[in-house]
């Protein structure tokens, strides 16, 4: 089978099939008698059709097969626009082969269509191989240009030179870029007066066209731009370009007036005095606008300060140091202003860069002032009352006002001082001595208050520090005043001596120890050598017999002048053991420690033993009598139980000597009767007498407390009270009570001597107790 062959003619008569072939004719038109290769007559060129064609249907082309059979040929086409999206744009007459356009075309959607054409006999057998049919859509100028954005924004500094580019605008056109339909040209339709900007018609670049851009005159430029196709003669569109001018410091700040007047109170530090106003044409809030103020003249002491308010750009004048109306009541300041950023080169300066500020200092009442605070003075220890300490006065800064100052002690913790309210003279009111809780390192602190008589009055406080000078008024004391040494030299025959002094340094240590010069014979047996600043060593020089020795020593301190005192040292000399200690060390140490002889110690021990035996005998008698009374007390009627008030104000006696009182009698004083005689203490010492009179009973209910207090006082002054180490008796709580004291439960020496059965008769609350102790 040869290559496919389709013959086509655009709007031409159909070719007759079966025509004879002349010599030299194209082989494609010859009648084939057998299978051999055949060439096409021509190739179908692309078919062009304009977009937006409105006459529908429109014949595009007619195709025809050169192998048309007697029975006829069936033609068909396939491809986009036929049986593929978009559908229904093209169609073909299957018998004639005419191809029609059935819808308007849009080149911007599809700029060409590539179809396949087919030729079949009536039986559906392919007569020719498919051939290509290309339909090209011809562009029309049916799309306007479009800017890429509606508003373009750019910035340029004010004063920019001509030709300074600001921005580039862009636009597009959907038409064929190979035609003039998409050839765009840019222009500025409107930009206001001045014509300060131009645009490149081809590239869309906007640049400055003239000098003189001034942000303070015109800060924003709005340009109306146009884009046109067909090289500027076709369809058009518009957009807006907004150009902002950026500020530069081309305007100097200037004061709103040449002189400002202000007023401020004296002694007011950190207070705002007033404001100086300036004007600057540059952009508000920018460094080109912010002002910087400087005080050039009139304030050599630096009493004022000035800073900038960042929101208003005002200069705020304030007081840096307290002002004194009496020293200076008026200031004339020269203030300058400039921007924080330097001016641009060539920018003109301001004629109002300087201003004068008049400040008047207003007089107010000022508090007194202690020029010396604190005041430090010294007073010797033990100074008598009325001794002058100092005159502590304050001064009034208000020299132009007649005011009187008065003084008072604001703080005098020990009440040692007295103060003259008019002169401020301080004197002692009592002796000042060491030691005292009110002294801090030897210093006494007091506060003095000074007050003027203005309205309202003002006051000041001064600190008075008084150093209590130490006086050497105490001699050193020997500590301890007794000791024990071995009576053999070199074998423990030494004793460490010490001393104390109530005086403070430098009137205390070092101490000087020596044997009394009035007894030179002592130096033959004893010697004293220094150990340290507070101690010395007493040594035996010769072997001494045992016994008690009283050595007069002379002790002297290091004060000015020094104080000395002669004191006795009791030394017990004991027999020496092998190791250099006393053979009877315990007895010798006890004798020396208390400063008494051995015979006195034996007397004390014998007396203590005798008192102990008497106490044990009395305790045994009391216990026997208590057993006899217990049985009788339990046999009395239960109805006889009553409330009792007992005297427990005598700590040395027992319960037996407490007198019980009927509480009903205390509630009804008219029933009280004087007692026949006072109670007699059985354990009173032999030297004691009896009280002079019995205690008077109270006469009313309100006197019960007084009655008890009087009983306490009588017991305290009663010479018949026993010593506090005697045996105490708690077995009897008053006549007529059937309830024995609970302390009697443990009063027996052994559990076998105690009978607990009687507890069961006291009621249910005591039965459990009887069961526990009766087991």
Interatomic CA distance for residues 231 and 186, integer angstroms:
9
Q: Give 774's pLDDT tier (boundaries 50, 70, 90).
A: low
The mean per-residue pLDDT over the stretch 134-156 comes to 91
Cβ–Cβ under 8 Å, residues 762 and 636: no
Q: Residue 492: its pLDDT value, please?
A: 66
Q: Residue 178: its pLDDT value, please?
A: 86
How many C-beta neighbours within 10 Å does residue 193 have?
6
Q: Positive or negative, the Cα torsion across 22, 23, 25, 26?
A: positive
Q: Residue 411: its pLDDT value, please?
A: 93
pLDDT tens digits for range 455-501: 888 899 999 998 887 777 778 888 888 888 888 787 667 888 888 87
Q: Residue 392: its pLDDT value, please?
A: 92
The mean per-residue pLDDT over the stretch 587-603 comes to 43
Q: Give 719's pLDDT tier (boundaries 50, 70, 90).
A: low
- Taking the CA atoms of residue 527, residue 529, residue 533 and residue 535 in that order, the dihedral angle to the nearest 10 degrees is -50
Q: Is the pLDDT of residue 733 over 90?
A: no
Q: Residue 69: its pLDDT value, please?
A: 62
Answer with the residue of higher pLDDT: 696 or 52.
Answer: 52
The mean per-residue pLDDT over the stretch 391-419 comes to 87
Cβ–Cβ under 8 Å, residues 180 and 229: yes
Q: Out of 143-152, 384-393, 468-477, pick the least confident.
A: 468-477
The mean per-residue pLDDT over the stretch 706-730 comes to 60
Render the burial of 500-514: b for 16+ CB within 10 Å, e for the rest. ebebbeebbbebbbe
Q: Residue 596: its pLDDT value, please?
A: 41
Q: Residue 164: its pLDDT value, please?
A: 93
The mean per-residue pLDDT over the stretch 744-764 comes to 60
Interatomic CA distance for residues 595 and 172, integer angstroms:
129
Most confident of 134-143, 220-229, 347-356: 220-229
DSSP 151-193: EEEEEEETTPPTT-EEEE--EE--S-TTSGGG--EEEEEE--T
Q: Residue 414 has what DSSP assignment? A: T
How many C-beta neighbours within 10 Å does residue 43 have?
8
Q: Residue 142: its pLDDT value, please?
A: 85
Q: Residue 503: its pLDDT value, please?
A: 72
Tokens encoding 516: 């009394």
Q: Out of 243-247, 620-624, 628-632, pick the least confident.
A: 628-632
Give all strands (DSSP E) within 472-628, no chain letters: 477-479, 482-486, 494-500, 512-515, 526-530, 535-540, 547-556, 564-574
Q: Residue 148: its pLDDT value, please?
A: 93
Answer with the residue of higher pLDDT: 141 or 590.
Answer: 141
pLDDT tens digits for range 90-122: 999 888 888 999 998 888 888 899 999 888 888
Q: Residue 279: its pLDDT value, please?
A: 92
Q: Out of 290-299, 726-735, 754-763, pick the least confident.
A: 726-735
Locus of tokens 């029309």: 140
Q: Residue 533: its pLDDT value, please?
A: 85
pLDDT tens digits for range 162-171: 999 999 999 9
Q: Residue 581: its pLDDT value, please?
A: 75
Q: Is the pLDDT of residue 538 over 50?
A: yes
Q: Residue 604: its pLDDT value, please?
A: 59
Q: Residue 775: its pLDDT value, please?
A: 57
Q: Give 200's pLDDT tier (boundaries 50, 70, 90).
A: very high
Answer with the residue of higher pLDDT: 556 or 743.
Answer: 556
pLDDT tens digits for range 329-388: 899 999 999 998 888 887 888 888 999 999 999 888 778 889 889 999 988 887 889 999
Q: Is the pLDDT of residue 195 over 70?
A: yes
Q: Residue 540: its pLDDT value, please?
A: 87
Locus of tokens 């050039």: 296
pLDDT tens digits for range 174-191: 888 888 888 999 999 998
Q: Out of 234-243, 400-409, 702-711, pick the least confident.
A: 702-711
Q: Residue 712: its pLDDT value, please?
A: 73
DSSP 110-132: -SEEEEEEEEEETTS-EEEEEEE
Answer with the residue of higher pLDDT: 556 or 642.
Answer: 556
Strand partners, 567: 553
pTM for this structure? 0.43
Q: Which long-range contacts (CB under 8 A, 24 or more apart) does 514-521 make?
A: 514/553, 514/554, 515/551, 515/552, 515/553, 515/554, 516/551, 516/552, 516/553, 516/554, 516/566, 517/554, 518/552, 518/566, 519/552
How many C-beta neighbours within 10 Å does residue 614 have?
13
Q: Is the pLDDT of residue 766 over 70?
A: yes
Most confident of 115-124, 307-316, 528-537: 307-316
Q: Average pLDDT, whole number, for the chain? A: 76
Answer with the residue of higher pLDDT: 155 or 70.
Answer: 155
Indicate the pairing of strand 564-574 with strand 482-486: parallel
């Amino acid at each position: 089978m040869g290559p496919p062959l389709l013959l086509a003619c655009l709007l031409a008569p159909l070719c007759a099939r079966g025509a004879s072939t002349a010599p030299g004719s194209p082989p494609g038109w010859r009648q084939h008698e057998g299978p051999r290769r055949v060439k096409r007559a021509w190739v179908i060129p692309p078919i062009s059709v304009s977009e937006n064609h409105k006459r529908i249907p429109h014949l595009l082309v007619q195709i025809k097969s050169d192998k048309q059979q007697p029975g006829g040929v069936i033609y068909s086409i396939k491809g986009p626009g036929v049986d593929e999206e978009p559908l229904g744009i093209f169609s073909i007459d299957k018998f004639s082969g005419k191809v029609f356009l059935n819808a308007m075309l849009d080149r911007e959607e599809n700029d060409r269509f590539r179809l396949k054409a087919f030729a079949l006999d009536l039986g559906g057998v392919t007569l020719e191989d498919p051939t290509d049919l290309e339909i090209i859509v011809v562009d029309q100028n049916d799309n306007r240009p479009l800017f890429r954005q509606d508003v373009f924004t750019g910035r340029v500094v004010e004063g920019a030179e001509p030709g300074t580019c600001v921005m580039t605008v862009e636009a597009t056109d959907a038409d064929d870029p190979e035609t003039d339909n998409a050839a765009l040209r840019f222009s500025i339709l409107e930009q206001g007066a001045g014509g300060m900007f131009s645009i490149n018609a081809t590239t869309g670049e906007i640049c400055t066209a003239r000098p003189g851009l001034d942000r303070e005159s015109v800060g924003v430029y709005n340009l109306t731009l146009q884009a046109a196709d067909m090289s500027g003669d076709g369809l058009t569109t518009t957009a807006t370009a907004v150009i902002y001018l950026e500020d530069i410091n081309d305007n100097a700040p200037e004061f709103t007036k040449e002189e400002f007047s202000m007023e401020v109170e004296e002694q007011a530090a950190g207070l705002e005095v007033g404001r100086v106003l300036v004007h600057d044409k540059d952009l508000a809030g920018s460094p080109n606008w912010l002002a910087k103020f400087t005080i050039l003249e009139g304030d050599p002491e630096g009493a004022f300060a000035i800073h900038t308010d960042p929101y208003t750009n005002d200069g705020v004048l304030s007081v840096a140091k307290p002002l004194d109306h009496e020293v200076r009541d008026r200031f004339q300041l020269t203030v300058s202003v400039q921007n924080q950023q330097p001016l641009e080169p060539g920018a003109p300066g301001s004629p109002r860069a300087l201003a004068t500020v008049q400040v008047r200092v207003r007089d107010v009442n000022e508090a007194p002032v202690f020029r010396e605070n604190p005041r430090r003075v010294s007073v010797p220890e033990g100074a008598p009352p009325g001794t002058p300490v100092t005159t502590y006065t304050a001064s009034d800064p208000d020299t132009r006002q007649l005011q009187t100052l008065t003084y008072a002690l604001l703080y005098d913790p020990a009440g040692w001082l007295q103060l003259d309210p008019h002169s401020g003279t301080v004197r002692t009111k009592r002796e000042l001595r060491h030691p005292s809780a009110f002294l801090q390192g030897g210093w006494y602190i007091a506060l003095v208050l000074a007050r003027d008589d203005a309205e309202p009055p003002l006051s000041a406080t001064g600190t008075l520090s008084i150093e209590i000078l130490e006086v050497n008024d105490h001699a050193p004391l020997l500590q301890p005043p007794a000791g024990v040494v071995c009576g053999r030299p070199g074998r423990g025959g030494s004793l460490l001596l010490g001393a104390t002094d109530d005086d403070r340094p430098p009137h205390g240590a070092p101490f000087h120890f020596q044997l009394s010069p009035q007894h030179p014979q002592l130096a033959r047996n004893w010697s004293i050598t220094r150990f340290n600043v507070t101690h010395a060593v007493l040594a035996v020089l010769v072997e001494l017999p045992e016994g008690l020795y009283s050595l007069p020593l002379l002790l002297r301190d290091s004060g000015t002048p020094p104080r000395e005192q002669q004191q006795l040292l009791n030394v017990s000399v004991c027999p020496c053991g092998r190791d250099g200690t006393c053979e009877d060390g315990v007895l010798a140490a006890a004798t020396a420690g208390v400063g008494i002889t051995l015979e006195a110690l034996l007397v004390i021990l014998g007396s203590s033993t005798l008192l102990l035996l008497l106490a044990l005998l009395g305790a045994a008698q009391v216990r026997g009598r208590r057993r006899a009374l217990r049985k009788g007390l339990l046999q009395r009627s239960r109805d006889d139980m009553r409330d009792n008030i007992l005297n427990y104000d005598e700590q040395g006696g027992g319960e037996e000597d407490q007198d019980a009182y009927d509480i009903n009698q205390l509630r009804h004083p008219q029933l009280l009767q004087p007692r026949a005689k006072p109670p007699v203490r059985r354990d009173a010492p032999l030297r004691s007498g009896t009280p002079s009179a019995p205690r008077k009973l109270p006469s009313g209910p309100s006197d019960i407390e007084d009655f008890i207090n009087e009983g306490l006082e009588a017991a305290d002054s009663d010479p018949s009270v026993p010593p506090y180490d005697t045996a105490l008796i708690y077995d009897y709580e008053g006549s007529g009570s059937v309830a024995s004291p609970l302390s009697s439960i443990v009063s027996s020496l052994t559990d076998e001597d105690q009978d607990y059965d009687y507890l069961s008769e006291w009621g249910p609350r005591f039965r459990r107790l009887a069961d526990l102790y009766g087991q």
